[in-house]
Amino acid sequence: MSEPVLRSARPAPRLRRGVVASLAAALTAAAAVAAAPAAARAQSWFTPSFQPPVVSTRDYTIGVSANSGTAAVFQWREGLTQRSHFGVEGGLVDTDGDGGTKLLLGGSYAYQLTRSTGEQPLDVLFTAGAGLSVGDGADVVRLPFGVSVGHRFPLEGGLAITPYVHPRLSLDLYSGTGADGEDTDLSIDFDVGANFELTRQVALRASLVVSGARRSDDVGFGIGLTITPAGLSGARLRR
């Protein structure tokens, strides 16, 4: 008598519904924050994090965003261990209003808190960083930390999409011309984004960013192109 053939279990519909419900709740919360009245006065810069909820072995992102001006950024992420990576960022922003230009520099660290399993569907990545904006107007140092939360959905044809939310609490320090005598601020930022994998090496990242920072617009948007070198996509670090 032939033995029964074991079939791979499909993801439980209940888990799928839970992921959709969680992301829908996050979108609703972001929309509610976006509808709140502004507290910002003078404007500066703000860009999305472009950070999905998984640790990276190595990737490069070129992005543009519209928020208190138009910014162009370059990001490099490099793996430290199987559960952590560091990142550096540089860019320029053409600020609104006065036609000024700022140089953007930053660094970040990320640690994988959880990965999705059959028991729970969410990837969770802790993030911390430091960013510097110098140029026309007040200089700004931002020290954000938070978590990126989402889930990867494989699609047909080798495509995949990872919707995610990335709330952050940031300590903002202002100095120089235009600081208005208020040199310290605490703000909450909120990204609602998606990482769309065209291949294992190429992905598009888009993000809506909602910010409570007094020198940024309430809502901004960014889009980026991410390249993962061949041989590193899906690779595991052994350190």
Q: What is the 3-state secondary structure (H, E, C) of 69-101?
A: EEEEEEEEEEEEECCEEEEEEEEEEEECCCCCE
Q: Residue 40 pLDDT more than 60?
A: no
Residue 163 CA to residue 196 CA, distance in Å, equals: 8
Residues 6+ apart with CB under 8 A from 37: none
CA-to-CA separations, 73 to 1, 41, 67, 106, 129, in angstroms, rounded:
64, 24, 13, 10, 16
d(CA 43, CA 32): 22
Q: What are the Cα distances from residue 194, in Å, to 42, 142, 152, 218?
A: 30, 24, 10, 20
In a domain, 143, yes or no: yes
State residue 33's pLDDT score. Answer: 37
| 44, 216 contact by CB (below 8 A) | yes
> 142: which residues sit within 8 A by CB, 6+ positions away?
106, 129, 130, 131, 132, 133, 170, 171, 172, 173, 213
- DSSP structure class, residue 58: E
| Within-domain flag for 194 | yes
Q: What's the total number of domains in the chain?
A: 1
pLDDT of 194 reads: 98
- Examine residue 89 and state whether it is found in any structural domain, yes or no: yes
Q: Which domain holds residue 147?
A: 13-227
85-132 tens-digit pLDDT: 999 999 998 886 555 888 999 999 999 999 999 899 999 999 999 999
Q: What is the DSSP string of 3-18?
A: PPPP-PPPPPHHHHHH
Q: Is residue 3, in this structure, part of any structural domain at all?
A: no
**pTM metric for this prediction:** 0.76
188-229 tens-digit pLDDT: 999 999 999 999 999 999 999 988 776 666 788 999 999 999
| pLDDT value at 32 more than 50 | no
Mean pLDDT for 160-180 is 86
Q: Give the domain CATH number at 200.
A: 2.40.128
If one counts every other C-beta atom within 10 angstroms of the C-beta of residue 60, the result is: 15
CA atoms of 227 and 56, how far apart (whole Å): 11
pLDDT given for residue 171 in this prediction: 93
Question: Is residue 239 one of the residues assigned to a domain?
Answer: no
Asked if residue 6 is part of any domain, the answer here is no
Higher per-residue confidence, 135 vs 14? 135
Distance CA 105, CA 81 (A): 24
The pLDDT of 41-67, averaged and rounded, is 83
Is 145 within a domain? yes
Alpha helix positions (H), 55-211: none
- Look at residue 18 and tell me if it is in a domain: yes
Percentage of residues in the chain having pLDDT higher than 70: 72
Averaged confidence pLDDT in the chain: 80
Q: What is the mean pLDDT of residues 135-143?
A: 86
- What is the token pair recorded at 91? 């860019």
